Amino acid sequence: MKTTICQAENISHPQSKKREQFPLLVLQGIDPSVVKNPVIKMLMTGDAVLASGRRCSIIPEDEMLIFLD
Protein backbone atom coordinates (compact mmCIF):
# COMPACT_ATOMS: atom_id res chain seq x y z
CA MET A 1 0.00 0.00 0.00
CA LYS A 2 1.32 3.42 -0.86
CA THR A 3 0.24 6.89 0.00
CA THR A 4 0.70 10.35 -1.47
CA ILE A 5 1.31 13.57 0.37
CA CYS A 6 -2.30 14.65 -0.02
CA GLN A 7 -3.64 11.30 1.18
CA ALA A 8 -1.25 11.17 4.09
CA GLU A 9 -2.28 14.46 5.59
CA ASN A 10 -5.77 14.90 4.21
CA ILE A 11 -4.91 18.30 2.78
CA SER A 12 -7.17 18.49 -0.22
CA HIS A 13 -7.43 22.27 0.11
CA PRO A 14 -4.20 23.36 1.75
CA GLN A 15 -4.28 26.83 0.22
CA SER A 16 -7.27 27.72 2.37
CA LYS A 17 -5.08 27.57 5.48
CA LYS A 18 -3.90 31.06 6.47
CA ARG A 19 -0.36 31.54 7.74
CA GLU A 20 2.18 34.28 8.04
CA GLN A 21 5.15 32.11 7.26
CA PHE A 22 6.23 30.54 3.98
CA PRO A 23 3.39 29.86 1.52
CA LEU A 24 2.47 26.19 1.52
CA LEU A 25 3.24 24.40 -1.71
CA VAL A 26 0.35 22.84 -3.57
CA LEU A 27 0.07 20.22 -6.29
CA GLN A 28 -3.11 21.61 -7.83
CA GLY A 29 -3.02 22.37 -11.53
CA ILE A 30 -0.45 19.69 -12.30
CA ASP A 31 -1.18 16.64 -14.40
CA PRO A 32 1.05 13.80 -13.13
CA SER A 33 1.39 12.42 -16.65
CA VAL A 34 3.38 15.46 -17.83
CA VAL A 35 5.64 15.68 -14.79
CA LYS A 36 9.23 14.90 -15.68
CA ASN A 37 10.92 15.28 -12.30
CA PRO A 38 10.85 11.90 -10.50
CA VAL A 39 10.63 13.45 -7.03
CA ILE A 40 7.55 15.51 -7.95
CA LYS A 41 6.10 12.42 -9.60
CA MET A 42 6.67 10.45 -6.41
CA LEU A 43 4.95 13.16 -4.36
CA MET A 44 1.93 13.08 -6.64
CA THR A 45 1.47 9.40 -7.26
CA GLY A 46 3.12 7.81 -4.27
CA ASP A 47 5.77 6.09 -6.32
CA ALA A 48 8.24 6.55 -9.12
CA VAL A 49 10.78 4.62 -11.11
CA LEU A 50 14.18 5.55 -9.76
CA ALA A 51 17.36 5.97 -11.77
CA SER A 52 18.36 2.50 -10.58
CA GLY A 53 15.34 1.12 -12.44
CA ARG A 54 13.62 0.07 -9.22
CA ARG A 55 10.28 1.44 -8.14
CA CYS A 56 10.30 3.60 -5.05
CA SER A 57 7.03 3.80 -3.15
CA ILE A 58 6.12 6.01 -0.27
CA ILE A 59 4.51 3.72 2.25
CA PRO A 60 2.46 4.73 5.31
CA GLU A 61 5.22 3.45 7.62
CA ASP A 62 7.63 6.00 6.13
CA GLU A 63 5.72 8.64 8.04
CA MET A 64 6.38 6.96 11.35
CA LEU A 65 10.02 5.93 11.03
CA ILE A 66 12.89 7.92 12.41
CA PHE A 67 16.54 7.04 12.18
CA LEU A 68 18.67 8.17 15.06
CA ASP A 69 22.43 7.95 14.92
Task: Give the binding site for other proteins (CB under 8 A).
Answer: 5-6, 8-9, 11, 14, 17, 19, 21-22, 24-27, 29-31, 33-40, 42-43, 48, 50-52, 54, 56, 58, 61-69
What is the per-residue DSSP string for 14-61? GGGS--SSSPPP--TT--GGG---HHHHHHHHSEEE-TTS-EEE--GG
The rounded distance, in Å, linking the Cα atoms of 61 and 8 is 11
To other proteins, the closest distance from the beta carbon of 17 in angstroms equals 7
To other proteins, the closest distance from the beta carbon of 10 in angstroms equals 10
To other proteins, the closest distance from the beta carbon of 15 in angstroms equals 11
